Amino acid sequence: MIGRLTLAATVVLVAGWFALLRPTALGGPTTYLLVSGQSMEPTIHAGSLVVLQHGSGYRVGEVVAYRIPAGDPASGLNVIHRIVGGSGEAGFIMRGDNASATDLWRPRTDDVLGTPVLIIPGAMPVLLVIRSPIVIASVAAALSVYLMLGFWPSPSPAANERLRREVTAHAVDPATWWSG
């Protein structure tokens, strides 16, 4: 019974992750971003993990993450700042909450990765430990053992009884162990 509940819970968790939290690299709707600068403080601190969901449109005042457009020297890097003007067609005017000047880049709607739905402060050190090879190998080994033991067939009552009779039939009296 517990095995079936565990399997059902695992299926529900995987299906939920697949539908809601699957990264865009795997065709999902979610982007994960580790913040490394102070330009968005006090709203978002360095070392935070930001979970972003892509939206259909963005407006002035929203915090968004965007990829620096192609053709710029820093193209491909991600920035998380607030929209302070512009439009998705002409390009948004962006600025960090802790910055006095606007960004050089004018990302369009296609460059925006999404808006934050979850901010986890101080997640970077934890993620660095979790991503270490020894932790990944340990988790993989533990899951392998769990799966092997969980699906290992348990002996039937008849097999247990046969084993008990066989052991009993070949039992040695401890008093005769050392007699010669």
What is the residue type of 166? E
Tokens, residue 76: 């491909």
pLDDT of residue 153: 67
**Average pLDDT value for the chain:** 85
Q: What is the mean pLDDT of residues 104-123?
A: 91
The predicted pLDDT at position 157 comes to 82
Do 86 and 93 form a contact (C-beta atoms < 8 A)?
yes
Give the confidence band of 15 by pLDDT, cuts at 50, 70, 90: confident
**What's the token pair of residue 168?**
């009993």
- In degrees to the nearest 10, what's the CA dihedral of 11, 15, 21, 27? 130
pLDDT for 151 equals 67
SS3 11: helix
**Non-local CB neighbours of 95 within 8 Å, separated by 6+ positions:** 81, 82, 84, 101, 102, 103
pLDDT level of residue 152 (50, 70, 90 thresholds): low
- Sign of the CA dihedral 87, 96, 106, 33? negative
Is the pLDDT score of 154 beyond 90?
no
Compare 48 and 20 and report the one with higher pLDDT.
Answer: 48
Amino acid, res. 131: R
Residue 63 pLDDT more than 70? yes
Check pLDDT > 80 for residue 3: no
pLDDT at 48: 93
Distance (Å, whole) CA 144 – CA 122: 31
- Band (pLDDT 50/70/90 cuts) for residue 103 is very high
